[in-house]
Structure 1
Amino acid sequence: MPKFYFQLFDRDGAGTTETAYDFESIEAAKAEARRVLAEMATEGLPAAPLNMMSVELFDESRRPLAEIRLILEEIAKQPR
């Protein structure tokens, strides 16, 4: 079974996990990255200046495979 690593980036900066996780496929690992990102958001939405948080997925050789991001964007509206 393939092993994957995650790197989390939130309000506190980047944190790399040293634990390898087994998943059936890259799609299963991506689904877990999305779940982890949603859990991170429940602890607080991203803040300025970056306004984003992410989970980056790496293979067992630590090559980057994908990054799942949550970006908080404020769009000013002009009053009519």
Structure 2
Amino acid sequence: MPKFYFQLFDRDGVGATETGYDFDSVEAAKAEARRVLAEMAAEGLPAAPLNMLSVELFDESRRPLAEIRLVLEEISKEPRSARRP
């Protein structure tokens, strides 16, 4: 069974795990990355300046395979003339 590693990026910065996790496939490891990301978001949404949480997935040789991201974006709907500089 292949081993996968995760690197987490949250409000506290980057945290890599030295523990490898066994999954049947890359797709199963990606599903776990999504679950972990959801747990991270449940603990608190991302904040400025990056407004992002992510889980990066690596294979057993530590080659990057995918990054699952949650980006919080605020989009103003005010007319430009009403916005503060």
- Give TM-score, length-normalised by structure 2: 0.91
The residue number in structure 1 matching 2:13 is 13
1:34 to partner: Cα distance:
0.1
Structure 2: how far apart are the matches of 1:33 and 1:78?
Answer: 36
Secondary structure of the residue that 1:49 maps to in structure 2?
coil
SS at match of 1:36: helix
CA RMSD of aligned residues (A): 0.7
Greater Cα radius of gyration, structure 1 or 2: 2
**Tell me, which stretches of 5 or more residues in structure 2 are unaligned?**
80-85
Which ranges in structure 1 are unaligned for 5 or more consecutive residues? none
| Aligned residue in 1 for 2:76 | 76
d(CA) in 1 for partners of 2:36, 2:47: 18
Match runs of 1:29-44 below 5 Å: 29-44=29-44
Shift of 1:78: 1.7
TM-score by length of 1: 0.97
Structure 1: which 4+ aligned runs deviate by more than 2 Å?
none
